[in-house]
Amino acid sequence: MIPTPASGARSPVRILLIEDNPTSRQLMSDYLEHYGWDVMSLEQGNSFAASMTQFQPHLILLDLKLPDIDGYTLLQQIQQNSEWRSIPVIVVSAFAFQVDRQRALDLGAVQYLVKPVNLAHLRQTIHETLENPLV
């Protein structure tokens, strides 16, 4: 079981946030750090592999529309890497169609949230995912 932070306490839980919109990225990052998670933010996917190796996240928050690579490709890369495959991925995307949601889930995402995301709901989804990684 991956430890989850108590409010205001530092925790070893690391979240990799991949979001190209600077406002959304900063808002989510600040919010999650406020609740004690360590967050590494990326605005593009080109440094994804290096960040995975260096940061070793317990959970990934992934936008699907990125300027240099799409999130579906990153989901495929995660599934193809035996060290990354067990890391839960929560997609946070503006793509609201069922076909997008299903494609992301088929590629290994454990949850799919549509933007604009309610931050309290995001936090609850992260807690549930960390407590039950095979959601």
Which residue in 49, 54, 46, 57 sits closest to 16, CA to CA? 57
Is the domain spanning 14-131 CATH 3.40.50.2300? The answer is yes
How many CB atoms are located within 10 Å of the residue 78 CB? 22
pLDDT one-digit tens code per residue, 80-98: 999 999 999 999 999 999 9
**Confidence class of residue 4 from pLDDT cuts 50, 70 and 90?**
very low
Which residue in 128, 65, 55 sits closest to 91, CA to CA? 65
The rounded distance, in Å, linking the Cα atoms of 40 and 60 is 10
**Confidence class of residue 133 from pLDDT cuts 50, 70 and 90?**
low
Residue with tokens 């750090």, as numbered in its chain: 33
pLDDT at 114 over 90: yes
Higher per-residue pLDDT: 9 or 81 = 81
Which residue in 44, 53, 38, 43 sits closest to 5, CA to CA? 38
pTM of the predicted model, to two decimals?
0.90
